[in-house]
């Protein structure tokens, strides 16, 4: 089976809220025997550097110290880290651009930043924009995140089953020798039959990729069912999908995936389904 990830990218500002993402990225690199790339975004622009050169120099010095500390930390973890400091007006844009330039197949990032006016958001504003615009899958880590060792749970959308999300979850479970549990949540009524059929098809696909698979259909609120099932099953990685790259797809952050990311006690892996290229017009 093809490995789930081969080009992981750690996105970090190396603050207290980034601890889980850094720990998880180093663990993935060690487990998969991969080199790790990284990006440390530094919010800056020419106007700021011109008007406040001393502050800009201070920010550069702090970023340099963070980079040195991360390099040392990677060495102690036995991980080869290629970390870049990127300057720009928007931290999320620098992260997304770095992922594109590196052709990353996974971004590892924290769940929230420092508390403030946005403290009540389930997912930090910068992180939300990264997930919404990322060109690849994104692994969101709470502060106490650790490598998964118990099981993987993936949500199956009864209305729009996503083969890519299911395949990714099966690959991760297979790579780590863990059981995979499929959960299909129906709103009730006629939707229940669609959920049963979607789960049946998903189980067939998953079993062709990974032997240790089971699944179930539940009714209720999708995000709560996924979180509850993860706890009941002892799963320490949840996998959900983010479809396409349209403006509508980027609004996902207000839906089920956003709630799962914000409320789960474990890391959440968001699979990004890239939009199909449009056929040339004759």
Whole-model pTM over 0.75:
yes
**CA distance from start to end of the chain:** 39
| Residue numbers of the domain that contains 85 | 8-141
What pLDDT does residue 120 have? 45
Q: List phi, psi (to 5°) of 82.
A: -110, 95
> What is the spatial distance between Cα 42 and Cα 12, in angstroms, rounded to a whole number?
10
What pLDDT does residue 192 have? 85
pLDDT in tens, the chain (282 residues): 568 999 999 999 999 999 999 999 999 999 999 999 999 999 876 665 666 677 778 888 899 999 999 999 999 999 999 999 999 989 999 999 999 999 999 999 999 865 443 434 567 788 889 998 999 999 999 999 999 999 999 999 888 878 999 999 999 999 999 999 999 998 876 678 889 999 999 999 999 998 899 999 999 898 999 999 999 999 999 999 875 444 444 444 447 888 898 889 999 999 987 655 444 444
In a domain, 181, yes or no: yes
Number of domains the chain contains: 2
Q: In this structure, are 126 and 167 located in the same domain?
A: no
In a domain, 3, yes or no: no
The bridge status of strand 180-186 relative to strand 152-156 is parallel
What pLDDT does residue 242 have? 79
Domain containing 60 — which CATH number?
Answer: 3.40.50.620
What is the number of helices (H) and of strands (E) in the chain? Answer: 9, 10
């Amino acid at each position: 089976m093809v490995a789930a990830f081969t080009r992981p990218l750690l996105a970090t500002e190396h603050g207290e809220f980034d601890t889980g993402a850094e720990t998880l990225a180093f663990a993935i690199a060690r487990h998969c025997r991969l080199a790790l790339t990284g990006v440390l975004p530094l919010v800056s622009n020419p106007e700021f550097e011109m008007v406040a050169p001393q502050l800009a120099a201070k920010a550069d010095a702090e970023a340099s110290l963070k980079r040195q500390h991360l390099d040392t930390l990677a060495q102690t973890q036995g991980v080869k880290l290629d970390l870049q400091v990127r300057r720009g007006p928007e931290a999320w844009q620098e992260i997304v651009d770095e992922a594109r330039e590196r052709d990353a197949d996974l971004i590892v990032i924290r769940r929230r930043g420092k508390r403030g006016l946005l403290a009540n958001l389930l997912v930090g504003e910068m992180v939300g924009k990264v997930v919404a615009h990322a060109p690849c899958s994104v692994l969101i880590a709470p502060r106490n995140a650790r490598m998964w060792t118990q099981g993987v749970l993936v949500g199956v959308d009864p209305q729009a089953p996503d083969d890519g999300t299911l395949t990714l979850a099966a690959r991760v479970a297979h790579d780590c020798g863990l059981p995979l549990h499929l959960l299909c949540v129906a709103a009730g009524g006629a939707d229940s039959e669609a959920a049963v059929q979607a789960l049946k098809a998903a189980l067939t696909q998953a079993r062709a990729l990974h032997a240790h698979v089971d699944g179930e259909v539940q009714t209720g609120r999708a995000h709560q069912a996924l979180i509850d099932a993860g706890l009941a099953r002892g799963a320490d990685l949840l996998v959900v999908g983010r479809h396409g790259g349209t403006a509508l797809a980027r609004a996902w952050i207000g839906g089920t995936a956003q709630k799962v990311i914000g409320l789960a006690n474990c890391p959440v892996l968001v699979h990004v389904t890239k939009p199909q290229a449009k056929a040339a017009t004759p």
